[in-house]
A and B are shown apart, each in its own frame.
Chain A
Amino acid sequence: MLGPVLVCIFVLVIAPLLWGLRISLTDSRMIGLGYRKGFTLENFQTILSDPDTWNAVWVTIVFSGGTVIGSVLLGIAAALVLDRDFPGRGIVRVLVILPWAVPHVVAALVWQWMYNPDFGILNYGLLLLPWVSATPKWLSDPQFALLAIIIVNVWKTYPFAALLLLAGIQTISDDLYEASAIDGAGPARRFLDITLPGLKRVLAIVVLLLLIWSFGNFVFIFLMTQGGPAGATNALVVHIYFETFRFFRAGSAFAMGALLLAMSIVLTSIYIIMLRGQDND
């Protein structure tokens, strides 16, 4: 019964991945068209000496890292709130989860509209603050564009972090908190001594999943900035897409794909080793 599925995975997932690696070692230009050199490392030499590649790697790391930091911090705050018992908790829970429920394309367009430098609600809100006199042009300003997209991605992903962390918090025994309260520990102490250590494993899983997903995120950057302005948001995924469909350099696109694959394999392996460790507890 497992057979058809494994065949399916092999044909639709593993074969394309391997074929992609194969193409990265040829001088193919248009994907799908032939190549003259059957084996060459030129693509790798080209992309590794190209500053654009390293910019893309850097943007990918900043984007993923920024997403993880923002998402985990907001997620912990949300989980601590939802762990409390208060009237209306059910509604708060639904409202917190809302951003996760919206389609990516919708989120991209709504935020693009809110970021609008001339008519956007966000800059209007910022100008209401007494100490703000000038507002950024967000998506068209190289200094703010990546931050703007990280904010959208944090907004979209933090509910996931919050729900997993909440599930983690609820597995921590109440006895530990009571004992610590008797010992005279305040809320901050209790959080640092009991909650955080208890969340260590869930936190690690959340961080890894968010990193892996952010590596592959295409929609926000593609729709909101197309990798611009001046390459400020040109993450690897978007860079690969444009290499293929705008500049028709399939060989180097696939070589960059191999780079992205290597980064994902490292993260995925850590993830799977951690899950195995959890099973053995």
Chain B
Amino acid sequence: MTEVRNTPIFENVVPRISRAAGKLAIAATAVFLCSIGVFPFYWMFVTSIRPSTEIFEFPPRVLPSADSVFSPYLTLFEETDLAQWLLNSTGVSAATAFFACLFGAMAAYALSRFRFSGRETSQVVLLMTQMFPAILLALPMFVFFSRLGLLNSLFGLSLAYLAFLIPVAAVLLKAFFDAIPVELEEASLIDGASRIGTLFRITLPLSLPGLASTFLFCFIISWDEFLFARMFIRQPDNWTVSLGLASFSGEFVTPWDQVMAAATIITLPVAVIFLALQRYLVRGLTSGGVKG
């Protein structure tokens, strides 16, 4: 780093050119990244409001059609079970997220506040459960659940999701509990409150933002999940949004306007939650998840 190669002639010109080139490169990269991020969403929405006569045209029209229609959205609710799928997904995701937070919080609290033998090992076990390809769990579970009569049931699906979401919730929540000063709890204990009282009156209210974020994160994962749902749920009545949407593809002629309309509806709620959560997610992944 100590070598100095610049001759006097280059001292002024080279840095100035390279600074301008650097700015240009940064701007170009930013534009490129933004367009690959946005374009698929744009194309999804534009396709969803295109009259079906214009969809199978080449060259495709890049701009929205002059006679844009919203009828695919109506058709979805009138002729398919989209409303039912949305209801199923909301129920499964909310229940899963709730219980993942409940059990996850118990584990996280223990890991964050108590020192006991096996604590390190427990943490490694929590972390490892996230690392296996889902299919390794899904196949044996499929067999167990079919014997227990839990296939084709949204309750069973939720139970399967808990298997991998409780550890995730525990790891994320531990980072939040770690950030709450132990002194607050000690003060409450000295004032005569019980352990449980302290947990409910001091710790839980303080970790409410963490609980809310973890709940929403688990909600998104359940909403998105496909493999377990595909294996466990066969009756269209019990389909989640992922299954319903996937069922459109593979038909002889895919009704792309309806598919993209359904995709838009399914994406909107989770994308909004996700973008609101992203800063917290990175923190969780770097401090909580990665530091175990």
Q: Shortest beta-carbon distance, A165 to chain B, in Å?
A: 11
Please, which residues of chain B bring their CB within 8 A of the CB of A241? 135
Kindly state whether residue B127 has any CB partner on chain A within 8 Å: yes
Partner of B43, one of A1, A6, A9, A110: A110
Residues from chain B with a CB closer than 8 A to the CB of A69 are none
**By the criterion CB–CB under 8 Å, are A107 and B40 in contact?**
yes
A5 near B34 with CB under 8 A, answer no
A100 touches B136 (CB 8 A): no
Contact A114 B274 (CB under 8 A): no
The reply to whether A81 and B33 contact each other, CB–CB distance below 8 Å, is yes
Chain B, residues 201-213, CB within 8 Å of chain A (1/0): the string is: 0000000000000
Distance between B239 CB and nearest chain A CB, rounded to angstroms: 12
Number of A residues near B (Cβ < 8 Å) is: 92
The 8 A CB mask of A8-43 against B (1 = contact, 0 = none) is 110011011101100100000001100000000000
Min CB–CB distance A263 → chain B (angstroms): 9
> B200 near A: Cβ within 8 Å?
no
| Contact assessment for A119 and B60 in the assembled complex, using a CB-CB cutoff below 8 Å | yes
Identify which of A20, A77, A110, A257 contacts B40 (C-beta below 8 A): A110
Q: Is the CB of A215 within 8 A of B60?
A: no
Beyond A5-B103, A8-B166, A110-B43, whether A267 also contacts B131 by CB under 8 A is yes
Chain B contact residues: over half helix, strand or loop, or mixed?
helix
Whether A113 contacts B106 by the Cβ 8 Å rule is: no
* A92 in contact with B126 (CB, 8 Å): no
Q: Which residues of A contact B254 (CB under 8 A)?
A: 113
Q: Which of A6, A111, A113 has the most CB of B within 10 A?
A: A113
B44 touches A103 (CB 8 A): no
Residues of A within 8 A of B6 (CB): 184
Query: A68 contacts the other chain (Cβ, under 8 Å)?
Result: no
Instruction: Encode contact with A along B100-143: 1 for CB under 8 Å, 0 otherwise.
Output: 00011011011100000000001011111101111111011111
Q: Does A144 contact B (CB under 8 A)?
A: no
Q: Across the interface, do A275 and B291 meet the contact criterion of CB distance under 8 Å?
A: yes
Name the distance in Å between B253's Cβ and chain A's nearest Cβ: 11
Q: In the complex, which residue of chain B has the Cβ closest to the Cβ of A28? A: B143
Tell me which residues across on chain B come within 8 A of A257, comparing CB atoms.
135-136, 139
Residue of B nearest to A193 (CB): B1
Q: Does A212 contact B (CB under 8 A)?
A: yes
Q: Which of chain B's residues 234-279 have a Cβ closer than 8 Å to chain A? A: 241-242, 245-246, 248-249, 254, 256, 259-260, 263, 266-267, 270-271, 274-275, 278
**Chain A contacts to B: CB under 8 angstroms:** 1-2, 4-6, 8-9, 12-13, 15-17, 19-20, 23, 31-32, 74, 77-78, 80-81, 84, 86, 92, 94-114, 118-121, 124, 155, 159-160, 163-164, 167, 179-180, 183-187, 193, 205, 212, 215-216, 218-219, 222-223, 237, 240-241, 244-245, 253-254, 257, 260-261, 264, 267-268, 271-272, 275-276, 278-279
